[in-house]
Amino acid sequence: MRQAIQNLEASKIREVANAGIGRSDVLAFWFGESDEVTPDFIRQAAIDSLTRGETFYAHNLGLPELREAVAAYTSRLHPPVDAGRIAITSGGVNALMLAVQALVDAGDEVVAVTPVWPNLTAQPAILGAKVHCVSLKPVDGEWVLDMDALRAAITSRTKLLIVNAPNNPTGWTMTRAEQQALLDHCRATGTWILADEVYERLFYEASDNGCAPSFLDIAAPEDRVVVAHSFSKSFLMTGWRLGWLVLPPALMDGMGKLIEFNTSCASVFTQRAGIVALERTDEVTPRVVAHLKTCRDTLVPLLGALPQVRVQPARGGMYAFFQVEGATDSLDTAKRLVAEAGLGLAPGNAFAPEAQGWLRWCFASKDPQRLVQGVDRLKTWLAAQ
Ligand SMILES: Cc1ncc(COP(=O)(O)O)c(C=O)c1O
């Protein structure tokens, strides 16, 4: 086994979840997914595809109809994007891995903004890259970007910048001015940007297009910018494993080859479901986002009312990221919460060492009452400490 793989840290979120497996009394908010099933008309599209016998390989870059649908969807939200720049992938995580495989050699320098979902720093490490993390800074319970520190970290030796906004786990969302400053800087250093924008629609502030600021709004097609997306969050399709990349035209031929040697293609019936999801997005996503906002606005004030908790409402994403007084070891606290309170949260240090002492609560709950019950459990547990 390669040393880079042996060095990978096992998931601390899994470690907590494993402690609660088989316990039906645990209220679980540890993973980043809704407990609501995919809308039936999306599921029906997959059933119809299978009934038609669509059980064969497809084009490496995806069904032309789906690439067109993604381009039309993207062009509704952002400046026009040609279908020729879209690659369909087997989930967002696969989209990100393909982008890293396409851009990073062993020994290359990669900069990542943290805390962040651990896959984003593990992927370049798997390829043997040197990952330098630049931390967001917590200010009054909210994580903010230190732009000077980030610019100083990105030099002409930096092959790739990886940035996820809206951010899992902090809810940090980049401003347009921050994006422009980073794009200008990376143009000057010749650094690629991999923007993980899977939460772009899960944005709770006013905006022209209902999205968080995107690099697609400001980058030219030929810029060294790759944007990763997923059907998982905005369409309640986590288990389907479907996502996409928006790439500069010059990368498309290589990306087709890379997909051939990774997964060959996304399954056709899944892609058929994706087409319907995009065509009928207005029947899904606005409702999902409105519900998530209700969930956030149910959970965060209740958490904030606990004297031991410090929390700010996330601007985007689907997580409350918060500190509990005296809980200096996140993993230990999360395990104890499962064992002693029947409450399943993710430990902050799963996302970066600087998030030690924080906890992540996924508020994507079909029934917001579960969130209320969860806070009750936390309150009772805290009172007993
Ligand atoms: C920041 C971020 N990017 C990408 C993904 C990938 O999602 P999927 O592989 O389900 O499309 C996730 C999933 O939790 C995520 O949190």
pLDDT digits (tens, 9 = 90+) for 76-131: 999 999 999 999 999 999 999 999 999 999 999 999 999 999 999 999 999 999 99
Compute the half-sphere exposure of residue 227: CA atoms within 13 Å on the CB side of its CA. Answer: 28
Torsion sign across C-alpha atoms 93, 99, 101, 107: negative
pLDDT of residue 107: 97
Q: Is 92 in the pocket of ligand 1 (CB under 6 A)?
A: yes
Atom of ligand 1 at shortest range from CA of 94:
9
Distances (CA, A) of 60 to 46, 92, 219, 259: 19, 16, 26, 6
Q: How far apart are CA 384 and CA 157, in angstroms?
A: 52
Name the residue with the closest Cα to ligand 1, atom 8: 92
Burial readout 60-69 (b: 16 or more C-beta within 10 A, e: otherwise): bbbbeebbbb
Question: How many angstroms does the Cα of residue 379 sit away from the middle of ligand 1?
Answer: 30
- What pLDDT does residue 141 have? 83
Rounded Cα gap, residues 363 and 32, in angstroms: 9
Segments of the chain with pLDDT less than 70 = none
- Residue 22: the pLDDT is 81
Preceding peptide of 115 cis, ω within 30°: yes
**Beta carbon of 200 within 6 Å of any ligand 1 atom:** no
Please state the atom number of ligand 1 nearest to the C-alpha of residue 33.
Answer: 14
Q: Using alpha carbons, select from 265, 251, 256 the residue that is nearest to residue 63.
A: 265
Tokens in use for 195?
Answer: 């923007």
Rounded distance from Cα 93 to ligand 1 centre (Å): 6
Give the model's pLDDT for residue 23: 87
Q: Choose among 217, 124, 207, 202: nearest CA to 165.
A: 202
Residue 91 near ligand 1, beta carbon < 6 Å: yes
pLDDT at 165: 98
Give the pLDDT confidence score for residue 376 in this predicted structure: 98
Q: What pLDDT was estimated at residue 278? A: 98
Report the distance separating Cα 359 and Cα 351, nearest Å. Answer: 10
As a whole number of angstroms, the distance between CA 193 and CA 272 comes to 30
Residue 93, ligand 1, Cβ within 6 A: yes
User: Tokens at residue 201, please?
Assistant: 């629609």
> Which residues in 80-96 are b (16+ Cβ under 10 Å) and which e?
ebebebbbbbbbbbbbb
Q: With contact defined as beta carbons under 8 Å apart, do 212 and 199 qualify?
A: yes
Peptide bond connecting 313 to the previous residue in cis, omega within 30 degrees of 0: no
Asked whether 138 lines ligand 1 (CB < 6 A), one says: no
Q: What is the pLDDT of residue 19?
A: 86
pLDDT for the residue numbered 61: 98
d(CA 245, CA 58): 17
Q: Whose CA is nearest to atom 11 of ligand 1?
A: 92
For residues 25 and 15, give the distance between their C-alpha atoms in angstroms, rounded to a whole number.
18
Is the shortest distance between the CB of 196 and ligand 1 below 6 Å? yes
CA–CA separation, 243 and 13 (whole Å): 23
> Which helix (H) or strand (E) covers residue 230, if one does?
strand 225-230
Q: Residue of the nearest CA to atom 1 in ligand 1?
A: 168
Q: In a mutational test of the pocket of ligand 1, which residue from 98, 116, 168, 245 has the highest number of ligand atoms less than 8 Å from its CB? A: 168
